[in-house]
Structure 1
């Protein structure tokens, strides 16, 4: 039963947090865009710019061959909670501590705010962090197997995994060898996006230093930016803060939980000295320092200078992302607090054997147990039992406190994650383009990356789903416009070179995202065969212009075919090197699972004790 308990905790958390999002329909919010029948070849061919979404979109596209797109989305969102909770729980030495750690790891402001930003792929990598931490000091097969969530999560997940598990692997004797194995494994699982980034159009992509200001952490509690980051909040987007999170009572309770977690972590490190403890502590401190860089003017200057020096420093812009190791430390610290609360009356906390980790099967009083039997006689046994029940009850209350401190995550973030169905004219446009075997791209209008859509089930801003709806290259405005606290805006320039050429041909109105008229010849020269206008428009927009025919006309989508020709198409194809790299990654994962004789789901690490670990003696 205890083997499945952490998974059950994650499943309950998933149902409570996602609620209606697990039902039929598509949840569309910011970066979270799932569409029916996502095209795998189109995903793999990608576009100009850094191929961040290749791994996650490729997995979604592959699963969409056998499951409806909305079912794939529900499974992906639920996996964040189930995998994350089980991973944190398996690092704890007792069932009570495991439940508390698992619940705390998936129910906190970091998860809530990133979920409201739609960053499901990054959260899947976050869910895999405790698995990698547990495997980082072991054999290579276990390391590769534990990196499956990061491999699916893609670029941000791999960077976060390196920050979190790197110090764990490097700490102690043999650290260089373990660090080398981890680095090699990270490269292998990154090949599907790393090779296209180095060999294709992304090699010339740039990272706009303006993103440093746009993505800087901000105070979303009365405790200021540093305090908000310590509470695992502080995300750059004010619209991604769950309801009621900044209320004084909720902030006070959350602060108490975080302080108790840090105290519990320190106590557990002193008591059991888990092998991953010092390295994970270093990762949490380092990550918190990176997050704080963007909170000060000098720090933002340093980040902008680094990004200008080399675009590879671009991931440091979103500093709040790097409090993830601290989230794991706090979750395990709360689990340690539960361990302290559930210790036998008059004795010490349960040793690793009581939870099934470490020396499995050792009970109290057996050789090697860390606790002696309770007082002899019926009275002593009764007191021991009452004390244990009280401790378990206290631990159960501790597991519920993260939910009490963050009710804004309940039931689809209180309606913010509501599913919707795609309009019929959208599906008709998708089918019409799919039926045409002639090459050519689809230009998506309005000329804005993010927009509000009134059929999405709520007033949510989302990356235009039309950018992923079609089974061919799409051209869209990948510039990101972010509001600033003073009422201004910061424009983070996109990376797609073809999009910049299209903007010069269109000359769109910044207010509406639509051009005054369409230039069919200019679009044909760019290789555009279709224009998809994913918004209600007046038909005068195209009726006064020659060179187009209407393919689909509806209240939510208009599809125009470019008749001016010839279409200057230069369809990018998947190179043999990219196919080989993808096969290497998949093969390495299959090998790691077969080599260990178990799957990711049934692996258990428990607590690795460092030499000289202190034993409690009553």
Structure 2
């Protein structure tokens, strides 16, 4: 079997894993879970590009989805993106195993695509982070070879999934790539990697830096988002097993039981031992190991040394990106997956093909509740008709004014979404600027609003009676209320324009034109232009496309290859 055929089999295996994992989520409609918010017929707005002054965590992933949704139904776009995560994860990890045998490669691919990290981040709705995670093995290989001919262009291409994912995906991927380049190559290669990462970060970096309110950084929130134990082995043991997400509601059903957790710990230990003993030929192996250790330290920082991270955030708010520790276990997942593949390859050499096959099946066997939409948690739903009617009324209104959403909460548990929590979709659903509560409450502790407009309106929005005159003076034209909590309607001169089983909409006439503090358009447009030129250069300069076979072409050399000494 040639190399292209191996990549194809790995991609098809990843597709099978994706179909099994998503299950009911592949039905018509949208999967809405925590941060995973897709809406029908999205439009390009100021929010899409981070121009409204909110923290641009959704840039450029929202723009990517909106562009695809212009030619493909938005619910189909979501399914293709989620399936692509599994296809890329399986294919990229399989490509790193320094073996010509198929089963060991598939063992690595399955392990990387089907593990607690993927399950917990999928339930948390962080599809954008998982895009970067899926391509991370390709990045590891490319970062170690940036000084080879075409290395810079190749690095840009393999970083594109993380670039689409945005700030969290590119931060995790950038730290990994920079570490690999520093350990494997020379300082010049590391500088090249850093330059590429910075350029691809411009769409979210520029609006974030020019945000009128500055960078948010609440050091008190470190404990809230620190890794937590979801196995009997404590926080550090859970991170070693690629779990440890901060949100206990996104742990897969049945995960962390003593028997299965112990077996999974055994698999991880064997994989790490195999990686350390036998994965010595590829040029990137040492850099990947250091990146895994560094990632594990960052992942554990909030749990074991919270004052250190709080101090860093106090020095510079940008360090707040390190609060959600578990996401930095991603490079460790690369090492575990490749180590399992190497162990399976050694078993195949010893004429134990059954062991290699078992290595491919064991991740699925030990985490069966990722299947069928995480045991039914991820189901496709349709937005109610009230939402379409509300959009028609609000977006077609020629009068100026913004939208306020009540009750005042950032996450919703709609009956039509089976009660599953999801970040309020209205800011993406409507073309007008929507003011929502962006404070996050975890275990009774609240991280304050980051949007200055939301912070200013919070005292009024939280009250039992919301005077329409006050909202009008704050530039609010419409108030949208969840129907089951219609008692929080504004008081005074507010006209009810829609009442349905799911939404109630009020119009307030004469809304003032409140001058907001927005991000300037020109620097953001320039950032997008620079990134577009770099991406086109990476593709056109080499006369290639962004197909999976291309990405697979960065597979490490044969284990029998020896680098020439200068």
TM-score (ref. length: structure 1): 0.85
**SS of equivalent residue, structure 1 residue 281:** helix
**SS of equivalent residue, structure 1 residue 537:** helix
Q: Kindly tell me: are residues 607 and 45 of structure 1, through their superposed partners in 2, closer, same or farther at Cα, counting changes over 3 Å? A: closer
Q: Which residue of the other structure, out of 109, 114, 119, is the alignment partner of 1:112?
A: 119
Q: Which residue of the other structure, out of 292, 297, 300, is the alignment partner of 1:289?
A: 297
**SS of equivalent residue, structure 2 residue 303:** coil
Q: Kindly tell me: are residues 447 and 259 of structure 1, through their superposed partners in 2, closer, same or farther at Cα, counting changes over 3 Å? A: same
RMSD across aligned positions (CA) = 2.1
Query: Partners in 2 of 1:77 and 1:594 — Cα distance?
Result: 27
- Structure-2 residue corresponding to 1:416: 377
- Structure-1 residue corresponding to 2:332: 326
Query: Partners in 2 of 1:420 and 1:4 — Cα distance?
Result: 32
**SS of equivalent residue, structure 2 residue 52:** coil
**SS of equivalent residue, structure 2 residue 264:** helix
Q: Which residue of the other structure, out of 11, 15, 25, is the alignment partner of 1:11?
A: 15
For structure 1, which segment, 570-579 or 307-316, has the greater mean C-alpha deviation from structure 2 after superposition? 570-579
- Structure-1 residue corresponding to 2:447: 492
Q: Which residue of the other structure, out of 313, 318, 324, is the alignment partner of 2:319?
A: 313
> Does structure 1 conserve the Cα–Cα contact (< 8 Å) formed by 2:33 and 2:421?
yes
Correspondence 1:158 to 2:104? no
Q: Kindly tell me: are residues 172 and 419 of structure 1, through their superposed partners in 2, closer, same or farther at Cα, counting changes over 3 Å? A: closer
Gaps of 5+ in 2: none
- Structure-2 residue corresponding to 1:361: none
> Does structure 2 conserve the Cα–Cα contact (< 8 Å) formed by 1:440 and 1:569?
no
After superposition, the C-alpha distances for 1:73-104 in whole angstroms (9 at most, x for unaligned) are 11111111111111111112322222111111
> Does structure 2 conserve the Cα–Cα contact (< 8 Å) formed by 1:91 and 1:130?
yes
- Structure-2 residue corresponding to 1:602: 549
Query: Partners in 2 of 1:595 and 1:264 — Cα distance?
Result: 39
Query: Partners in 2 of 1:163 and 1:610 — Cα distance?
Result: 27
- Structure-1 residue corresponding to 2:355: 394
CA shift at 1:172, angstroms? 3.9
> Does structure 2 conserve the Cα–Cα contact (< 8 Å) formed by 1:244 and 1:250?
no
Q: Kindly tell me: are residues 86 and 180 of structure 1, through their superposed partners in 2, closer, same or farther at Cα, counting changes over 3 Å? A: same
- Structure-1 residue corresponding to 2:459: 504
After superposition, the C-alpha distances for 1:471-510 in whole angstroms (9 at most, x for unaligned) are 1211111110001xxxxx211112100001111233x1xx
Equivalences for residues 331-370 of structure 1 within 5 A? 331-343=337-349
Q: Kindly tell me: are residues 540 and 72 of structure 1, through their superposed partners in 2, closer, same or farther at Cα, counting changes over 3 Å? A: closer
Aligned length, in residue pairs: 549
Q: Which residue of the other structure, out of 433, 444, 453, is the alignment partner of 2:394?
A: 433
Q: Which residue of the other structure, out of 494, 498, 506, is the alignment partner of 1:552?
A: 498
> Does structure 1 conserve the Cα–Cα contact (< 8 Å) formed by 2:53 and 2:519?
no
Gaps of 5+ in 1: 346-386, 484-488, 509-514
> Does structure 2 conserve the Cα–Cα contact (< 8 Å) formed by 1:283 and 1:325?
yes
CA shift at 1:587, angstroms? 2.2
Q: Kindly tell me: are residues 434 and 280 of structure 1, through their superposed partners in 2, closer, same or farther at Cα, counting changes over 3 Å? A: same
- Structure-2 residue corresponding to 1:265: 275
Q: Which residue of the other structure, out of 195, 210, 225, is the alignment partner of 2:235?
A: 225
- Structure-2 residue corresponding to 1:359: none
Correspondence 1:97 to 2:104? yes
After superposition, the C-alpha distances for 1:200-244 in whole angstroms (9 at most, x for unaligned) are 325x23211122010111111111111111101111111111011
Query: Partners in 1 of 2:344 and 2:142 — Cα distance?
Result: 24
**SS of equivalent residue, structure 1 residue 530:** strand
**SS of equivalent residue, structure 1 residue 558:** strand
CA shift at 1:10, angstroms? 0.8
- Structure-2 residue corresponding to 1:188: 199
Query: Partners in 1 of 2:557 and 2:183 — Cα distance?
Result: 13
